[in-house]
Amino acid sequence: MRTPQRGGPSLTVARVLHVGPFSPPIDGGISAYLDGLRRAAVVDRVALEAFDVHARGAERRSRVLRARLTVRLLWRFRSQLSRTTAQLVHVHTSAHLGFWEKSLYGLVAARHGFPFLLHVHGGDFDRFIMELGPLQRRLAGRVFRAACGIIVLSQAWKHLFEPWVVPERLHVVPNAIHVADFPAAVEPHNIERVRILFVGMLSARKGLDELCLALVTLGDTTRPIDVEIVGGEEVPGDAARYRQCFRQAGLTNVHFHGLLDADATREQLRRAHVFVLPSRSESFGIANLEAMACGLPVVSTRTGAIPEYIEHDVHGLLVDPGDAAGLARELRRLIESPKLRQRLGAAARERAQRFDWTVVGPQLESIYRRILGL
């Protein structure tokens, strides 16, 4: 194991090679997390090296092309391991095919004498684990046991790994944002129309079907609304399908913006009055956190880590996943009550401070220290 080196004005306590989607665009929770990590103060003490596994276009849609990409990337990864000064490999993974791909990086690192951390981000990783067949469970167990530690985003997900991993190797580290990147939105007095914003992948998992049903029942609110939907598609064709779904429902006040860059997304947040993320499953829901940092009242669901950072009727409003009627009810409360929007928005912004990188970064550093014996 390599000896820590001094670098810059402070002691570099660890040198870590991160494996994940680093290249733009930021099109998901993992890439948003890694973008934030690269700008966090913790990198003054932890030397961060990146290995980019971002798949694009046809390589993302075709399993054959994706498999070829993975083989090429694994070859480059082995080459990078031969010349890296890193002491630890930190692998960021989602569920399904992404898990098996990223597991290969961890196993290759271990074979070359590097301890590796497995950082689980995928929103439906719980379902993925529970639906594994016997052979797949044995293979997944091998990966979990080979890892020197597993990081999950919530207390609720620790139980998924308990059959394979001793408690000392299970770590809960929440997602983080740079709160200063998100200036508080100020709602003007006597607004004419309430702007509701959704940011996320256009998919059933993110609850867009429930949002459509809920909006249909909100036609008789005391104040008119506009709904802005920001995000790319998880499966090719989903964007067109959801545009048609909302249009056929007669929702002419719903506007699709596609995938926007960080600045344009922040502008949407600045102009919004209510944020909604009705996910059926979610590991953390970093988009909620960004909206909260802007002082927006959030309507979301009781899944993954969300109930751990949003207390219902305190920092936001929560409904059960798949509950379109409940979603409509809570949206109506916010549409019709400026005072409720103001109260929840102020509490949400205060809550978001706990998830700033200045708070969460040292938690990662502590795990690195423990693993490397520093």
The answer to whether the Cα torsion of 146, 147, 149, 155 is positive or negative is negative
Tell me if residue 46 falls in helix, strand or coil.
strand
- Backbone region of residue 11 per phi and psi (left: phi > 0; alpha: psi in -120 to 50; beta: other values): beta
* Nearest alpha-carbon partner for 291 in 344, 339, 331, 246: 344
d(CA 77, CA 230): 34
Domains of the chain, first to last: 6-176+356-372 (3.40.50.2000), 179-354 (3.40.50.2000)
Ranking 29-33, 109-113, 210-214, 298-302 by mean pLDDT, the lowest is 29-33
* Nearest alpha-carbon partner for 255 in 234, 275, 231, 226: 226
Cis peptide before 297 (omega within 30 of 0): no
DSSP secondary structure, 51-86, as one string: EE----HHHHH-HHHHHHHHHHHHHHHHHHHHH---
pLDDT in tens, 229-276: 999 987 888 999 999 999 999 999 999 999 998 899 999 999 999 999
Could you tell me the two tokens for 350? 């205060």
What's the chain's average pLDDT?
91
Average pLDDT of 57-66?
75
Q: Beta strand 254-258 with 225-230: parallel, antiparallel or unpaired?
A: parallel
CB 24 within 8 A of CB 232: no
CB 73 within 8 A of CB 358: no
* Nearest alpha-carbon partner for 105 in 214, 20, 231: 20
Could you tell me the two tokens for 207? 């609850």
Band of pLDDT at residue 12, cut at 50, 70 and 90: low
d(CA 49, CA 84): 8
Average pLDDT of 40-62?
83
